[in-house]
Amino acid sequence: MASGIFSLLDDVAALMDDVAAMSKIATKKTAGILGDDLAVNAEKAMGFVSNREIPVIWAITKGSFLNKLIILPIVFILNAIYPPAIIVILIIGGLYLAYEGAEKIFEFFVPHPKEPATEQLEEVTPEQVIAFEKTRVTSAIRTDFILSLEIIIIAMGTVTEAPFINQLFVVTVVAIIATVGVYGIVALMVRMDDAGYKLIKKGTDKSKLLVSFGTILVKSLPIIIRLLAVLGTLALLLVAGGIFAHHINFFHQILSSLPAIIKEFILGLGVGFVVLIFVLAFQKIKKMVTS
């Protein structure tokens, strides 16, 4: 009996060792998309009143975990039954990401009616604040779903030859790291200004170093927000372009002389504006019919 238990523990240890090694490889493979995920979701998680930032990020984090709970079994089942279906889902997700990125660029040049600013939200009804948050959270979770799907599929691609139990552990570990890591960093970023104000208050008349560091944190946040808005849009287009370039043979062949990052940006932007034109045309037709 004792020898059987030790043999079982030895097998478990060997499995954990294999999972750790494979998880490290899978995490490296997904590092690029994790960076894009961070840029996109950090930009979406900012812009709320101070006392609502953490609750909003927590709501998005829970949505991200739910996304992965939905995606993991679906990906494993489809991979076992009909692998091409995963590619179709990825391409549909790429169309949405490309559209969202193109729409942001279009909005920059042709401004839409703005949502109430966070400063204004403090002066309106709680119902309006909740509606604003719900819209932003829903948008963030929807985008997270597609990025999570990409992360999980890339992670699975690194362990296709491994036994099922190893695949399950490795992909699950990567999914958890992606969620905790990305939204943990986002939470730290959005609290930069509050941390800065506390350091300034604490350092007044005591430590000029604390005041200086706090001031840097406070002044850096608006710059970071603007930078993330740009990086988030670029990330959407690059992820979409990468999906098209890797999974659609026609797009894989064209612009082959260009560096991959430029090619993926052009593909994401081009497809995104095509989808945007169709969406705008549909909205206009719908408005004409209903008016």
Residue 4 belongs to a domain? no
226 contact partners, CB below 8 Å, separation of at least 6:
none
Residue 178, pLDDT > 70, answer yes
User: Which burial class, exposed, middle or buried, applies to 9 when counting CB atoms under 10 A from its CB (0-12, 13-18, 19+)?
Assistant: exposed
Give me the number of domains the chain comprises. 1
63 contact partners, CB below 8 Å, separation of at least 6:
137, 140, 141, 144
Domain that holds residue 37: 14-290
Residue 260 belongs to a domain? yes
pLDDT of the residue at 123: 58
Banded model confidence at residue 277, pLDDT cuts 50, 70, 90: very high
Residue 6 belongs to a domain? no
The answer to pTM > 0.75 is: no
Banded model confidence at residue 39, pLDDT cuts 50, 70, 90: low
CA distance linking residue 150 with residue 185, whole number of Å? 20
Residue 72, pLDDT > 70, answer yes
Residue 60 belongs to a domain? yes
Amino acid residing at 24: K
- What are the backbone dihedrals phi and psi of residue 191, each rounded to the nearest 5 degrees, phi first? -100, 10
pLDDT of the residue at 16: 45
User: CA 107 from chain center: how many Å?
Assistant: 21
pLDDT of the residue at 279: 92
Residue 3 belongs to a domain? no
Where is pLDDT greater, at 246 or 16? 246
Report which of 211, 212, 217 is spatially closest to residue 193, judged by C-alpha positions.
Answer: 217
Residue 8 belongs to a domain? no
Residue 199 belongs to a domain? yes
User: CA 226 from chain center: how many Å?
Assistant: 17
Residue 54, pLDDT > 60, answer yes
Residue pLDDT, tens place only, 247-273: 888 888 888 888 888 998 999 999 999
Banded model confidence at residue 274, pLDDT cuts 50, 70, 90: very high
Residue 105, pLDDT > 80, answer yes
Residue 90 belongs to a domain? yes
Burial 234-250 (b: 16+ CB within 10 A, else e): bbbbbbbbbbbbebbee
User: CA 174 from chain center: how many Å?
Assistant: 14
Cβ–Cβ < 8 Å for 271, 245: no
